[in-house]
């Protein structure tokens, strides 16, 4: 109890030493800080260390002194915040040694040393081994600097959460329970993110795959080169859809014209013969030489007529046969013509 009174007295003395020069600048702020410290002392004496910590930390935001740091370290130790108490006690010793005008230095250093030793025995530690080197690591929500990787880092006993991430890697998360005085080792080894089916890995990155080049006449089907499928025969369109060739029609028209011309010659020959016959049947008669000449003309006209009729008919028939042979049947197959030597016949097959 006596030691606690001495500590409180030292704390108040340091506080008053700071308040006096500060009153000229902001008397309200200094008074508020003093009230926070007194309220923190009362909460501590009542056993409410959590409230005492809140009040003392608020006072420290206004002005921190070695005596106030000592008070924080003792309250953190009483609250089982051993990592916080260890850090505060070490800062207390550093700040006390640096303040040459500090009152009750021996008491403050003694108390901070005691807190440091107790917290050092109770604190848990975590050693984080990390791969890859460009990862970002957090320990219980706070970033863990790279310089602290692989070294024991003090933490409060209880649940400890380690998280890590890096570009192109899957996130890492692990939760462990650290007991008082225990040293845990957490192996953080990030796994590369899987590439999708359209990408391939180059180093640590996923890049689009180069298009597959097929050789030897093969074609790309999916992700493999396969032989091309045989082409289906193109269906023959009906002649009506394709349009009939002009050849048969021209041939038929030519044959018809020749036949008509032959008919005209036949009519002329008949008329000419009737005219000669009529003239020679008169009383005067006709000379034999003239008759022979006219009859020869009639024979020539009749020969031209017969030739025209026969030739025109053959030409017309040929054009019709041409049309029939070039026109496909209902199934799309054209008429086929061939000679059967055994039957000594011209065979025409197909639909007409």
Residue 34 has pLDDT above 90, yes or no: yes
Instruction: For tokens 């349009």, name the residue.
Output: 243
Q: Comparing 37-41, 215-219, 274-278, 286-290, which segment has the lowest mean pLDDT?
A: 215-219
Averaged pLDDT score across all residues of the chain: 81
Taking only the tens place, the pLDDT of each residue in 146-170 is 999 999 999 999 999 999 999 989 9
Give the rounded percent of residues in the chain with a pLDDT score beyond 90: 44
CA distance 286 to 306: 28
Helix H, strand E, coil C: the string for the chain is: CHHHHHHHHHHHHHHHHHHHHHHHHHHHHHHHHHHHHHHHHHHHHCCCHHHHHHHHHHHHHHCCCHHHHHHHHHHHHHCCCHHHHHHHHHHHHHHHHHCCCCCCHHHHHHHHHHHHHHHHHHCEEEEEEEECCCCEEEECCEECCHHHCCCCEEECCEEEEEEEECCCECCEEEEEEECCCCEEEEEEECCECCCCCCEEEECCEEEECCCCCCCCCCEEECCEEECCCCCCCCCCCCHHHHCCCHHHHHHHHHHHHHHHHHHHHHHHHHHHHHHHHHHHCCCCCCCHHHHHHHHHHHHHHHHHHHHHHHHHHHHHHHHHHHHHHHCECCCCCECEEEEECCCCEEEEECCC
Pairing of strands 136-139, 124-131: unpaired
Taking only the tens place, the pLDDT of each residue in 39-89 is 999 999 999 999 999 999 999 999 999 999 999 999 999 999 999 999 999
Max avg pLDDT among 18-22, 120-124, 193-197:
120-124
Give this prediction's pTM: 0.52
């Amino acid at each position: 109890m006596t030691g606690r009174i001495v500590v409180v007295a030292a704390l108040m003395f340091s506080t008053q030493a700071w308040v006096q020069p500060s009153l000229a600048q902001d008397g309200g702020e200094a008074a508020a800080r003093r009230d926070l410290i007194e309220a923190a002392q009362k909460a501590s004496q009542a056993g409410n260390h959590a409230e005492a910590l809140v009040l003392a930390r608020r006072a420290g935001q206004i002005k921190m002194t070695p005596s106030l740091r000592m008070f924080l370290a003792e309250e953190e130790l009483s609250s089982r915040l051993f990592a916080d108490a260890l850090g505060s006690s070490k800062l207390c010793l550093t700040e006390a040694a640096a303040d040459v005008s500090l009152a009750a230095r021996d008491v403050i250093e003694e108390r901070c040393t005691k807190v440091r030793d107790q917290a050092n025995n109770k604190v848990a530690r975590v050693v984080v081994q990390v791969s890859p080197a460009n990862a970002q690591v957090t320990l219980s929500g706070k970033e863990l600097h790279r310089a602290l990787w692989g070294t024991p880092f003090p933490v409060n006993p209880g649940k400890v959460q380690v998280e890590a991430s890096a570009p192109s890697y899957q996130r890492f998360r692990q939760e462990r329970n650290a007991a008082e005085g225990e040293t845990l080792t957490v192996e953080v080894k990030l796994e590369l993110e899987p590439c999708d089916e359209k990408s391939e890995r180059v180093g640590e990155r996923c890049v689009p795959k180069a298009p597959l080049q097929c050789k030897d006449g093969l074609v790309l089907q999916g992700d493999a080169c396969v032989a091309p499928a045989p082409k289906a025969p193109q269906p023959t369109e009906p002649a009506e859809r394709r349009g009939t060739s002009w050849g048969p029609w021209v041939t038929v028209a030519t044959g018809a014209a020749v036949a008509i011309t032959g008919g005209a010659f036949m009519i002329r020959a008949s008329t000419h013969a009737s005219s000669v016959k009529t003239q020679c049947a008169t009383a005067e008669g006709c000379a034999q030489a003239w008759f022979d000449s006219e009859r020869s003309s009639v024979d020539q006209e009749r020969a031209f007529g017969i030739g025209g009729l026969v030739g025109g008919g053959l030409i017309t028939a040929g054009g019709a046969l041409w049309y029939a042979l070039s026109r496909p049947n209902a199934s799309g197959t054209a008429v086929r013509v061939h000679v059967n030597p055994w039957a000594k016949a011209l065979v025409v097959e197909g639909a007409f």
